[in-house]
Amino acid sequence: MERAALVTGANGFVGRILCSYLADRGWRVRGGVFGAEPASEAEAVCDVARRDDVARLVDWAGPITHVFHLAARTFVPDSIQSPAACMAVNIEGTVHVLDVVRERVPEARVVYVGSAGAYGQPQTLPVTEDHPLNPLNPYDISKAAADQYCAFFHEATGLDVIRTRPFNHSGPGQSELFVLPAFARQLARIEAGLAPPTFRVGNLDKARDFLHVNDVVAAYEAVAVRGAGGRVYNICCGQSTPIRAALDGLLALTDVEVEVVVDEGLLRPVDAADVVGSHDRITADTGWRPAIPFEGILRDLLEEWRGRVGGGTA
């Protein structure tokens, strides 16, 4: 049987890459987009916070075997400034997707894309899927609540739902609002003489488990095809990298010298110091494991931003 996917949030950073990845692997792909006009006949506009929009999207998509639910508000500072909007999309949107899928295509499998931020400050390392959820900000609260609702919905209705908890991931196409592309953009602009050699940073001492986005979309397909219904899977590389090491890694790729300055506006009031996850479960169930080293993320980001600066788009 042909695998047919509906991807919500298809015009987001990861959504675009996932759609392309699935199509290249023979899936029939349809996408729901928000805040932009459809880029092709395979896309349709959908605001998941509106149930009627979700129902129209599912009907429009035609026969589907899988739903990848990526649509979300993802920027933590925005969630702090506008928590109600974050909850409407991230929690209510998930409720709408599950409800409509069960009503219209109950045989489909739903892959919910959550966040490892739901774990909050780790109590033990590495973080496994059994670690308690203790989110620290409105975005993580919304993802934790939607995650738990997915678990409830699977148990209560029998809908085939798999939950994922991806750790930090990056790569070309990610907004410069996030730390690694923000670093790469600054460096590319300094190299080009478009900015003074002052490198603005937040907390360099915290450490995160970083993945390349290409590894992440491969994991989403892996759990969609080979994952166990009702389970939750960490998606991570299994080691943490200090933000200071990310900065040093980027600076090692250039000849320019910079002055590093801590920008108080980039510091979060509440933040976990060190986060590293375990991918033992997803590896055991599906065979997936990360393939791209951290240095590959940095090189890809810097090359992207060098091109954008040179083309006048950064």
Mean pLDDT of 180-202: 93
Q: Was domain 4-170+211-235 assigned CATH 3.40.50.720?
A: yes
Where exactly are the structural domains of the chain?
A: 4-170+211-235, 179-207+239-276+292-310
pLDDT value, residue 262: 87
211 with 290: CB under 8 angstroms?
yes
pLDDT value, residue 271: 66
pLDDT value, residue 15: 98
Q: Quick one: pLDDT band at residue 137, thresholds 50, 70, 90?
A: very high
Q: pLDDT digits over 102-118, tens only? A: 999 999 999 999 999 99
Q: How far apart are CA 160 and CA 107, in angstroms?
A: 8
Angle between helices 243-251 and 179-191 (to 10 degrees): 30
Q: pLDDT digits over 226-264, tens only? A: 999 999 999 999 999 999 999 999 999 999 999 998 887
Q: pLDDT digits over 7-43, tens only? A: 999 999 999 999 999 999 999 999 999 988 999 999 9
pLDDT value, residue 273: 80
Q: How far apart are CA 138 and CA 79, in angstroms?
A: 6
Q: How far apart are CA 197 and CA 208, in angstroms?
A: 26
State how beta strands 207-208 and 160-166 pair. unpaired
Rounded to the nearest integer, the mean pLDDT of the chain is: 95
CATH superfamily for domain 179-207+239-276+292-310:
UDP-galactose 4-epimerase, domain 1 (3.90.25.10)
Nearest in space to 85 (alpha carbons), one of 36, 139, 125: 139
Torsion of CA 261, 182, 219, 135, to 10 degrees: 60
Dump the DSSP string for 260-278: EEE-GGG--SS--SB--B-
Helices (runs of H) and strands (runs of E) counted in the chain: 11, 13
Q: How far apart are CA 35 and CA 114, in angstroms?
A: 21
pLDDT value, residue 292: 98
